[in-house]
């Protein structure tokens, strides 16, 4: 029987509960009863999550005259759009798949998806694009729905009254008639889009929390992401002990959670970027010119059916996050030294169970090794207290 963090809501930081430098948790008895209540509130079973219910372009397009808070990339090439559709189909015949498209803008990819038999829900954050997007759905018998919504601002953590383009996914999905699928079943829908230019890392962390806690879009099952990301960030995402300088907690968490595939690479120059004044963004610095020579990578992130186990659940995932953050704070240290500060469980016994040598370093462990390490400590039966926490680390971003 797994024992989650005693009585802690999943998103509550430990620093809010203690002023001590170290906190020992994961007990039994009354704590277990609190955990059962916590699971009931979230609709989760002990070991597996129960998910709750053609256009021509002029020099000055009319849809980009409205001011925007930040520049965004848009797919404006029909050639690129058709290439992406073929990649997403994976050689299959036309099928009526459900795609949730993030900020489609002028709708070039939207139209290509519709022509290939897909059903599309276009979430557009800029009102000026919406009339044109809606016109693409005429005479298509509801195969296209357009919603004024920003996918990357779904379910804000600190919000009062929510109004478009910020929305709550539960209400959005209910209105769209999207049904949840059990985690062990298929893919309820596919998301396609381009990560925000300036907030890739922040967006990746938010999605990780949503995924591991089965909240937001992942309340509805193993939602598949098909997203363009910068080549530099993709390299970090896929890093492992073979490229230790790029290897980080973010790499481990995504590789543990998802099957990651590189579907396509496209030069930055293939995407149009419109700024606040509605003009193409011109590089002003040397760094910008270097960036424009790089590629954007279309990656597919499919949550693993086997992500959750008896010892890694949507309740205790925060402990896994904390373990990784603390490990990568001193990435060149030996694993055994970290174990002494992470857990009172016998460090040599843990190394033996995970088949690692005493000299093994953090950067020698692959993502699967970190998951095995966490589960080994979690299932230690001879210890009522399994974890030690450095209070100040909780609010650090690694």
- Report the alpha-carbon distance of residue 395 to residue 393 in Å, rounded: 6
Say whether 390 counts as a known binding-site residue: no
Q: What is the pLDDT of residue 292?
A: 57
pLDDT at 12 over 50: no
Burial group, residue 343, by CB count within 10 angstroms (0-12, 13-18, 19+): buried
Give the pLDDT confidence of 372-391 residue by residue, as tens digits. Answer: 999 999 999 888 889 986 55
- Which of helix, strand or coil describes residue 233? helix
pTM for the complete prediction?
0.81
Task: Write the CA distances from 320 to 27, 80, 315, 334, integer angstroms.
Answer: 17, 39, 10, 19
Q: What is the pLDDT of residue 269?
A: 86
**Of 366, 337, 330, the residue nearest 351 (C-alpha):** 337
- Mean pLDDT calculated for residue range 334-357: 95
- Which of helix, strand or coil describes residue 162? coil
- Mean pLDDT calculated for residue range 22-46: 40
Tokens of 89: 């189909």
Q: What is the pLDDT of residue 151?
A: 97
- Report the alpha-carbon distance of residue 234 to residue 391 in Å, rounded: 31
Q: What is the pLDDT of residue 290?
A: 56
Where does the pLDDT of residue 57 fall: very low under 50, low under 70, confident under 90, or very high at 90 and above? very low
- Report the alpha-carbon distance of residue 221 to residue 188 in Å, rounded: 6
Q: What is the pLDDT of residue 291?
A: 59
- Report the alpha-carbon distance of residue 269 to residue 261 in Å, rounded: 23
Q: What is the pLDDT of residue 390?
A: 57
Q: What is the pLDDT of residue 31?
A: 44
Helix axes 108-115, 78-89, angle to 10 degrees: 50
Q: Tell me 91's DSSP state.
A: T
Residue 54 makes CB contacts below 8 A (sequence gap 6+) with 78, 111
pLDDT at 311 over 60: yes
Say whether 75 counts as a known binding-site residue: yes
Q: What is the pLDDT of residue 162?
A: 84
Tokens of 229: 């990301």
**Of 322, 306, 318, 303, the residue nearest 254 (C-alpha):** 303
- Mean pLDDT calculated for residue range 113-138: 94
| Average predicted confidence (pLDDT) for the chain | 81
Where does the pLDDT of residue 90 fall: very low under 50, low under 70, confident under 90, or very high at 90 and above? confident
Q: What is the pLDDT of residue 34?
A: 43
**Of 226, 231, 260, the residue nearest 88 (C-alpha):** 226
- Mean pLDDT calculated for residue range 61-78: 65
pLDDT > 70 in the chain, percent: 73
Which of 4-13, 45-54, 156-165, 281-290 is most confident?
156-165
Tokens of 282: 């011109």
**Cβ(179)–Cβ(220) below 8 Å:** yes
- How many Cβ atoms are within 10 Å of 182's Cβ, its own excluded? 14
**Of 243, 210, 235, the residue nearest 225 (C-alpha):** 210
pLDDT > 90 in the chain, percent: 64
Where does the pLDDT of residue 243 fall: very low under 50, low under 70, confident under 90, or very high at 90 and above? very high
Angle at 238 (CA atoms; ends 304, 355), nearest 5 degrees: 70
pLDDT at 93 over 70: no
- Report the alpha-carbon distance of residue 79 to residue 396 in Å, rounded: 43
Give the pLDDT confidence of 137-186 residue by residue, as tens digits. Answer: 998 988 999 999 999 999 998 767 788 999 999 999 999 999 999 999 99
- Which of helix, strand or coil describes residue 382? coil
pLDDT at 398 over 80: no
Residue 40 makes CB contacts below 8 A (sequence gap 6+) with none
Q: What is the pLDDT of residue 11?
A: 39
**Cβ(172)–Cβ(219) below 8 Å:** no
**Cβ(44)–Cβ(315) below 8 Å:** yes
């Amino acid at each position: 029987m797994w024992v989650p963090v005693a009585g802690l809501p999943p998103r509550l930081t430990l620093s809010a509960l203690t002023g001590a430098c170290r906190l020992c948790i994961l007990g039994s008895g009354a704590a277990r009863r609190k955990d059962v209540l916590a699971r009931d509130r979230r609709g989760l079973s002990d070991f597996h999550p129960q998910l709750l219910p053609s256009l021509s372009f002029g020099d000055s397009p009319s849809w980009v005259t409205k001011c925007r808070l930040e520049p965004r990339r848009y797919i404006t090439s029909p050639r690129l759009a058709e290439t992406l559709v073929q990649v997403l189909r994976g050689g299959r015949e036309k099928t009526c798949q459900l795609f949730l498209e993030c900020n489609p803008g002028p709708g070039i990819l939207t139209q290509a998806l519709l022509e290939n038999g897909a059903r599309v829900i276009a979430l557009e954050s800029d009102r000026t694009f919406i009339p044109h997007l809606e016109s693409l759905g005429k005479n298509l018998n509801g195969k296209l729905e357009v919603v004024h919504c920003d996918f990357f601002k779904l379910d804000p953590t600190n919000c009062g009254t929510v109004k478009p383009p910020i929305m709550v996914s539960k209400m959005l999905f209910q209105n769209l008639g999207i049904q949840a699928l059990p985690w062990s079943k298929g893919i309820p829908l596919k998301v396609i889009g381009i990560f925000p230019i300036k907030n890739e890392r922040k967006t990746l962390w938010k999605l990780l929390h949503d995924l591991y806690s089965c909240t937001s879009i992942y309340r509805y099952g193993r939602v598949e992401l098909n997203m363009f990301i910068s080549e530099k960030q993709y390299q970090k995402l896929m890093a492992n002990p073979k490229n230790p300088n790029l290897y980080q907690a973010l790499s481990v968490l995504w590789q543990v959670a998802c099957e990651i595939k590189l579907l396509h690479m496209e030069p930055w120059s293939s995407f149009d970027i419109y700024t606040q004044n509605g003009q193409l963004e011109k590089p002003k610095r040397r760094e910008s010119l270097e960036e424009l020579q790089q590629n954007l990578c279309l990656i597919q992130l499919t949550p693993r059916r086997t992500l959750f186990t008896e010892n890694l659940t949507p309740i205790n995932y925060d402990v896994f996050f904390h373990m990784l953050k603390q490990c990568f704070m001193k990435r060149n240290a030996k694993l055994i030294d970290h174990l002494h500060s992470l857990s009172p469980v016998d460090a040599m016994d843990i190394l033996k169970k995970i088949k690692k040598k005493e000299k093994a370093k953090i950067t020698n462990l692959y993502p699967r090794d970190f998951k095995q390490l966490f589960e080994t400590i979690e299932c230690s039966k001879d210890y009522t207290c399994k974890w030690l926490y450095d209070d100040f680390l909780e609010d650090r971003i690694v």
